[in-house]
């Protein structure tokens, strides 16, 4: 996990994506899964977004919701989140590749 600086982002403007374990506008930064769990929310999720100077607020490219059950442990929520993240990232990247191929 790294926060990229302006010089680097200027070179690759709009070309860097990030997978974040929270829904847009919720729990930016670190420990997002743990914070959602501790807040007792019923739903959280993950998103893939374009990286900007501001952490976890770039253009959203995909979202997947994740349920937090009342009987869940943090480890169970983390496992469910990671599974959702893997599916979402593959789906978003596949869509990006197909979009690029369509332009050729």
pTM of the model: 0.89
Phi-psi group of 27: left, alpha or beta (phi > 0 → left; psi -120 to 50 → alpha; rest → beta) = left
Catalytic residue among 2, 20, 49, 82: 20
Over the stretch 11-39, which tens digit does the pLDDT of each residue have?
998 899 999 999 999 999 999 999 999 99
In the predicted model, what is the mean pLDDT of residues 57-65? 96
pLDDT at 102 over 50: no
- Annotated active-site residue 86? The verdict is no
Region 50-70 average pLDDT: 96
The pLDDT value recorded for residue 17 is: 95
Q: What's the 3-state SS for 46-100? A: EEEEECCCCCCCCCEEEEEEEECCCCCCHHHHHHHHHHHHHHHHHHHHHHHHHHH
pLDDT at res. 101: 44
pLDDT digits (tens, 9 = 90+) for 68-95: 999 999 999 999 999 999 999 999 999 9
């Amino acid at each position: 996990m790294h926060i990229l600086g302006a010089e680097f982002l200027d070179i690759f403007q709009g070309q860097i994506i990030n997978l974040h374990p929270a829904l847009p506008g919720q729990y930016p930064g670190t420990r997002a899964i743990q914070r959602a769990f501790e807040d007792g929310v019923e739903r959280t999720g993950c998103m893939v977004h374009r990286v900007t100077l501001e952490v976890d607020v770039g253009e959203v490219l995909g979202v997947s919701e994740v349920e937090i059950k009342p009987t869940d442990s943090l480890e169970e929520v983390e496992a469910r989140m990671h599974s959702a993240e893997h599916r979402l990232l593959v789906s978003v990247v596949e869509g990006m590749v197909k979009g690029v191929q369509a332009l050729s």
